[in-house]
């Protein structure tokens, strides 16, 4: 196990690589303008499945082991409620679901960036909290899973930008930047947990609740909105299984 500055550095770099995977996943936008709605829904379902499995196996189960079930329940509920409040009272917009939250005079792209920040920050927080436990292997497994699910999300960000008139390189750049919201979240999680280790179980469950809210409130509805519910569901199961195997075999 590692502690202190070395652990913070490794955790931050791991979250940076996971966030950069968003840009890696968006690279096809340089060569294509559109993929089928069916395939995109499968990819979104895949990303949702990875996040669900990461919430359970990488965050909730360790939270219960370290702090008991009631502490895990408390952290999960607080994480869900905080994301609910942010989602309701902070203006933002989604590609498919459209504007959410209170009305705003901000440009659509600005609202989109806010939405992606709300979406990605809990993922970075989860990676940081996992590394903050001192278990570098578990942290690397979670960062790998988050990186895998970031790749289809990067494509899901870049393609609509091209369709509304953005240049391909600019769309790729925006997609890459959306993933870079995660390292600050990871740094916050690392600092909080390393400075106040007794709250580790609560923090793990909190991050799980925040990610589960994003999956249930945004990712699954978006993957089902265009009539490809069953393929999206199979994508979710595949993502769940892959993350479960990663966590079980390498965590």
| pLDDT (mean) for 61-74 | 94
Beta 92-94 vs 98-100: how paired, if at all?
A: antiparallel
pLDDT in tens, 151-162: 988 888 888 888
pLDDT in tens, 113-128: 777 778 788 888 889 8
The pLDDT value recorded for residue 227 is 87
The pLDDT value recorded for residue 1 is 46
Pair 154, 178: CB distance under 8 Å: yes
pLDDT at residue 3 tops 60? no
Both tokens assigned to 191: 């600092």
| pLDDT (mean) for 182-195 | 83
Query: 18: which residues sit within 8 A by CB, 6+ positions away?
Result: 123, 124, 127, 143, 144, 146, 147, 150, 179, 182
The pLDDT value recorded for residue 132 is 80
Neighbours of 3 (CB within 10 A): 11
Going from N- to C-terminal start, the domains of the chain cover 4-31+38-250
Q: What is the secondary structure of 135-194 as a DSSP string?
A: -HHHHHHHHHHHHHHHHHHHHHHHHHHHHTT--HHHHHHHHHHHHTTHHHHHHHHHHHHH
How far is 100 from 97, CA to CA, in rounded Å?
8
What percentage of the chain has pLDDT greater than the value 70?
95
How far is 169 from 173, CA to CA, in rounded Å?
6
H/E segment holding residue 22: helix 4-26
The pLDDT value recorded for residue 97 is 62
How far is 78 from 148, CA to CA, in rounded Å?
27
- This prediction has a pTM of 0.87
How far is 150 from 166, CA to CA, in rounded Å?
21
Both tokens assigned to 43: 């990819």
The pLDDT value recorded for residue 2 is 47
Pair 5, 190: CB distance under 8 Å: no
pLDDT at residue 139 tops 70? yes
Q: Which of 48-57, 134-143, 230-239 has the lowest mean pLDDT?
A: 134-143
Q: 4: burial class by Cβ within 10 Å (0-12, 13-18, 19+)?
A: exposed
| pLDDT (mean) for 173-194 | 85
Q: What are phi and psi of 102, to 5 degrees?
A: -65, 160
């Amino acid at each position: 196990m590692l502690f202190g500055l070395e652990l913070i550095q490794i955790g931050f770099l791991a979250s940076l690589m996971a966030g950069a995977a968003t840009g890696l996943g968006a690279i096809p936008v340089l060569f294509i303008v559109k993929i089928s709605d069916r395939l995109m829904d499968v990819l979104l379902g895949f990303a949702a499945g990875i996040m669900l499995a990461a919430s359970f196996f990488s965050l909730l189960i360790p939270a219960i082991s370290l702090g008991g079930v009631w502490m895990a329940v408390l952290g999960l509920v607080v994480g869900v409620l905080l994301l609910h409040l942010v989602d309701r009272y902070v203006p933002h917009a989604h590609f498919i679901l459209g504007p959410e939250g209170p009305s705003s005079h901000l440009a659509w792209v600005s609202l989109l960036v806010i939405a992606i920040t709300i979406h990605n920050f809990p993922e970075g927080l989860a990676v940081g909290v996992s590394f903050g436990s001192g278990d570098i292997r578990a942290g690397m497994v979670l960062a790998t899973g988050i990186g895998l699910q970031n790749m289809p999300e990067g494509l899901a960000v870049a393609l609509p930008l091209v369709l509304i008139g953005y240049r391909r390189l600019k769309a790729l750049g925006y997609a890459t930047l959306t993933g870079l919201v995660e390292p600050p979240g990871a740094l916050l999680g690392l600092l909080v947990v390393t400075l106040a280790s007794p709250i580790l179980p609560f923090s793990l469950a909190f991050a799980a609740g925040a990610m589960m809210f994003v999956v249930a409130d945004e990712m699954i509805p978006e993957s089902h909105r265009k009539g490809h519910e069953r393929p999206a569901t199979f994508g979710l199961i595949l993502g769940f299984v892959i993350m479960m195997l990663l966590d079980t075999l390498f965590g």
